[in-house]
Amino acid sequence: MSMKRGAAAEIALGIGVAALGVFILFETRMIRVAPIYSKVGPGVIPTLVGIILLALGILFVWQSWRGKRTVADGIDAPGSLLDTPGTGDQTADWKALGAIGVGLLLQIVLFESAGFIPTAAILFFCVAFGFGSRRYLRDAIIAILLATVAYVGFVHGLGLPLPAGILEGVL
Amino acid sequence: MGTLGALMDGFATAFTMANLGWCVLGVTLGTAIGILPGIGPALTIALLLPLTAHLDPTGAFIMFAGLYYGAMYGSSTTSILLNTPGETGSIITAVEGHLMARQGRGAAALATAAIGSFVAGTIGTVLLTVLAPLVVKVALKFGPADYFALMVVAFTTVSGLLGSSRLRGIISLMLGVAVGLVGTDTLTGQARFTLGIPNLLDGIDITLVAVGLFAVGEAFYVASRPDLRSAEIIPIKGSLLMTREEWARSWKPWLRGSALGFPFGALPAGGTEIPTFLSYFLEKKLTKRPEEFGKGAIEGVAGPEAANNAAVAGVLVPLLTLGLPTSATAAILLAAFQQYGLQPGPLLFTSNSTLVWGLIASLYLGNFMLLVLNLPLVGLWVRLLAIPAPLLYAGILVFATLGVYSLNQSVFDLVLLFLVGAVGYLMRRFDFPVAPCIIGMILGPLAEEQFRRALMITQGNPSVFVLSPISATLLAIAVLIIVAPWLLKLRQRRLASS
Smallest CA-to-CA distance from B129 within B370, B287, B316 is with B316
What is the secondary structure of B262-285 as a DSSP string? HHHHHTTT--SHHHHHHHHHHHHH
CA B370 – CA B32 distance, rounded (Å): 11
CB contact under 8 A, A128 and B163: no
**What pLDDT score does B230 carry?**
62
Mutation site, A4, A66, A160, A162, interface B, largest B CB count within 10 A? A160
Sign of the torsion angle spanned by Cα atoms A75, B93, B212, B343: negative
Residue of B nearest to A38 (CA): B460
Cβ-proximal residues to B95 (8 Å cutoff; 6+ apart), any chain: A81, A82, B280, B294, B300
B157 to chain A, closest Cα gap in Å: 12
Smallest CA-to-CA distance from B399 within A118, A171, A123 is with A123
CB contact under 8 A, B405 and A111: yes
The phi and psi torsions of B140 (rounded to 5 degrees) equal -65, -25
Interface of B with A in 344-373 (CB under 8 A): none
B459 to chain A, closest Cα gap in Å: 8
B230 part of contact set with chain A, CB < 8 Å = no
Q: Which of B181, B395, B428 sits opposite A146 (nearest CB)?
A: B395
Residue of B nearest to A55 (CA): B171
B181 part of contact set with chain A, CB < 8 Å = yes
Residue of A nearest to B459 (CA): A39
The number of C-beta contacts closer than 8 angstroms across A and B is 217
The model's confidence at residue A1, banded by pLDDT at 50, 70 and 90, is: very low
Interface of B with A in 139-158 (CB under 8 A): none
Helices B244-266, B299-322: inter-axial angle, 10-degree rounding: 30
* For residue B444, pLDDT beyond 60: yes
CA B237 – CA B330 distance, rounded (Å): 36
CB contact under 8 A, B164 and A143: no
A22 to chain B, closest Cα gap in Å: 12
* For residue A3, pLDDT beyond 50: no
CB B192 within 8 A of CB B183: yes
Cβ-proximal residues to B100 (8 Å cutoff; 6+ apart), any chain: B80, B106, B108, B109, B296, B298, B301
B425 part of contact set with chain A, CB < 8 Å = yes
Residue of B nearest to A82 (CA): B95
* Residue range B156-210, pLDDT digits in tens: 877 665 555 788 888 999 999 999 999 888 778 888 888 888 889 888 999 999 9
Residue of A nearest to B228 (CA): A85
Residue of A nearest to B453 (CA): A40
* Residue range B130-160, pLDDT digits in tens: 999 999 999 999 999 999 999 998 888 776 6
* Residue range B351-401, pLDDT digits in tens: 999 999 999 999 999 999 999 999 888 888 888 888 888 999 999 999 999
For A19-29, b/e burial (b = at least 16 CB within 10 A) is ebbeebbebbe
* For residue A78, pLDDT beyond 50: no
Q: Record the pTM.
A: 0.88
Smallest CA-to-CA distance from A38 within B455, B289, B120, B136 is with B455
* For residue B93, pLDDT beyond 50: yes
CA B339 – CA B327 distance, rounded (Å): 18
The mean predicted confidence, pLDDT, of chain A is: 82
CA B394 – CA A10 distance, rounded (Å): 30
The phi and psi torsions of B322 (rounded to 5 degrees) equal -120, -10
Sign of the torsion angle spanned by Cα atoms A168, B406, A97, A24: positive
* For residue B327, pLDDT beyond 80: yes
Largest Cα–Cα separation, chain B: 70
CA B334 – CA B186 distance, rounded (Å): 18
B164 to chain A, closest Cα gap in Å: 5
B116 or B185, higher pLDDT:
B116
